[in-house]
Amino acid sequence: MKLFKNRTFLLFLPATGFLIIPFYGFIYAVIQSLGGEGFTHYHEILNSERFLSSVWFSIRTAGIATILSIILGLGFTKLFHPLLTHTSHRLMVWIPMLFPHFVWGYMIILLLSETGWMAQVFTAAGWLEDTSNFPVWTRDPHGIGIIITYVWKEVPLVILLLFPVYASIRPEYYALVDSLGGNAWHRFTTVDLPNLLPVLVESFLIIFSFTLAAYEVPALIGTTFPEMISVLGYEWFYGGSWDDRPLAFAAMVLISLCLLTLTLVGYFILSRPRWRAMRGDRP
């Protein structure tokens, strides 16, 4: 057949091989979560206050960190993208991407913990009576330290993804909006946003998924309750009771399904205008 004659199918082999591993892991997790007892473990965790608190805390923390990263990255790229055409400036912005997340977690502890550099500086300056009066920004129940760490780390990624889009926008488009009496908001909504929307959605999905499922930063500067869902799953899996292991698999399966659903929703939102154009429908 033509497909095999042109050997086009060989191009799909690397992607297929790459997807087999996570697909196998997901199927294995589903089997282990059922464990011959049906949906008993799913019913147990969905009625667990600890699990529900962990899910809400994880979604809230990951959502805030993701939204702040996108807003700050978008604003920085919008204001300074002409400077980013120089390689030296881009390297300065992307330096945080060279270090792992747990390194920035340690930096947050050194800077913002109750005995960190900032607390000592404020105490030495006389602004605080003692370092114990410094606000609790690490290992706090609101996840402030986790949010700061991920924002610090993910803003350069957002800039990396958005800069090529801004570099491809022609200045004549902005001049056209100005000639029609538009302001800065009109330039953003009519020129920037249509070009940025696909990348913004992709950035949100990437950062939110990673932040929701990451382990090292929440384990380093998070609290014992409420904990991120990744930390809870780790405790169930490596805890002293073997009966908790299916709970860890069930929790990860549910989170994976939620992220998959979120990804499909984002895909359909981005593909809807294309489908309308292919059908010849008017917007």
* Domain-wise residue ranges, the chain: 59-227
Mean pLDDT for 32-59 is: 85
Site of tokens 């550099």: 117
Higher pLDDT, 4 or 272: 272
- pLDDT at 121 > cutoff 60: yes
What pLDDT, in 10s, does the model give residues 228-264? Answer: 988 988 888 887 777 778 888 888 888 888 888 988 8
- Say what the pLDDT of residue 32 is: 80
Of 224, 197, 206, which Cα lies nearest the Cα of 143? 224
- pLDDT at 280 > cutoff 60: no
Of 67, 19, 20, 45, which Cα lies nearest the Cα of 229? 45
What pLDDT, in 10s, does the model give residues 184-222? Answer: 888 888 888 888 888 999 899 999 999 998 888 998 888
Q: Report the distance separating Cα 157 and Cα 93, nearest Å.
A: 9
- pLDDT at 165 > cutoff 60: yes
- Tokens coding 240: 């002293």
Phi first, then psi: give them for residue 269, nearest 5 degrees: -65, -45
Q: Is the CB of residue 211 less than 8 Å from the CB of residue 57? A: no
- Say what the pLDDT of residue 282 is: 52
pTM over 0.75: yes
- pLDDT at 6 > cutoff 80: no
- pLDDT at 9 > cutoff 70: no
- pLDDT at 166 > cutoff 60: yes
- Tokens coding 270: 């981005």
Whole-number average pLDDT of the chain: 83
**Confidence band (pLDDT; 50, 70, 90) for 8?**
low
User: Positive or negative, the Cα torsion across 233, 238, 239, 241?
Assistant: positive
- pLDDT at 40 > cutoff 60: yes
- At the topology level, CATH places domain 59-227 in MetI-like fold (1.10.3720)
**Confidence band (pLDDT; 50, 70, 90) for 67?**
very high
